[in-house]
Amino acid sequence: MAKIGSVGTSVGRKALLLGSGELGKEVAIELQRLGVEVVACDKYAGAPAMQVAHRSYVFDMLDGEKLREIVHIEKPDHIIPEIEAIATPMLVELEKEGYNVTPTARAAFLTMNREGIRRLAAEELGLPTSPYRFASNYDEFKAAIEEIGLPVVVKPVMSSSGHGQSTVRKAEDIEGAWREAQEGGRAGAGRVIVEGFVDFDYEITLLTVRSVSGTVFCPPIGHIQVNGDYRYSWQPQAMTPAALAKAQEVAAAITGALGGYGIFGVELFIKGDEVIFSEVSPRPHDTGMVTMISQELSEFALHARALLGLPVPEVRFLAPSASRAIVVEGDTKEVIFGNLEEVLAAPATQLRIFGKPEVKGHRRMGVILASDETVEAARAKAEKAYEALEVTVK
């Protein structure tokens, strides 16, 4: 029988959140709604989840010994990775010590490294993927491109949100793509994946929830990315029944192989009724922020329920919805979001400002959410609200 005791006592539940961005913030809020003590960690002070957590620590989570020290100090009931840049081998060791890693330490380890998850999907499970090669140095990189043929997409094996990612369409782009991948990896320079282009009609995120109730799926989310970083998402993405069934089959296979309880963001390419596996994140997905308005329980609420061992018998969808990321460019700690009365003038429109402490270059600082009778109307409403938004960088 599941139980949650009083916060801050010996009978309470404690969660250590590894990663405190906008996704981690929403997870922290949902855990606190269920009476869980939340300790937030990130590499910089004032991260969004730290602003709502009970306590926080600032350290480089790629430092395995520091990670172990914090875990031994806090003795959490749940260790919840919310980013990729974590010393995942240490998570494996901590799990062996008896700590509960969400969804599993193996899942965090495999999905931090694109090589691990791609080999699991393609070579162990036999799931359809794009053609790919891995390269550890520039000569191997050039050979991989020659084998696959242009155009290709290049990504560090350890990165997220488009960091270090580029597209090579002609020979003159090769050297720059290698340099970009080496500079953009979350764990520093290193191995890269070279992927051949896939002919697809659209791409989706299929949020997949594993809990004591079994496996359930959120309605498919369509999205648009710019250099690997999400800008728009909408739910539901229209699909044929055959394509949806195949997508759910692929998602169930990869999440079942990873194991554990929680929500997984499974990214898939769709061509007609064909489904091609792309990536999976064992945590809430940025494109899934649309669920904060489209579903009775958002992806964050579903994640909290599942990892706590609580039932998730179904996903209740409310209305066609869309999200529009607010990306700010500049170099400042002072950003002003203005004309909000116009932004929020339409019914069923919401705004989330993440509270990130600074911008250097470009950074996702908020999101606009909208619902309507159709996806098309919701997308238009979100875009209209975005166009009304005035962002001032001081």
Supply the residues annotated as catalytic: 160, 162, 267, 279, 286-287, 364
CB 117 within 8 A of CB 97: no
Distance (Å, whole) CA 102 – CA 79: 6
CB 162 within 8 A of CB 227: yes
Q: Which residue has the tokens 């980013």?
A: 83
Beta bridge partners of 268: 204, 277
Measured N-to-C along each axis, helices 241-258 and 105-112 cross at an angle, to the nearest 10 degrees, of 110
Distance (Å, whole) CA 307 – CA 277: 25
What type of residue sits at position 92?
A: V
CA atoms within 13 A on the CB side of 126: 0
Which own/partner pairs from 357-361 qualify as long-range (CB within 8 Å, at least 24 positions apart)?
357/44, 357/45, 357/46, 357/47, 357/333, 358/332, 358/333, 359/328, 359/329, 359/330, 359/331, 359/332, 359/333, 359/335, 359/393, 360/331, 361/329, 361/331
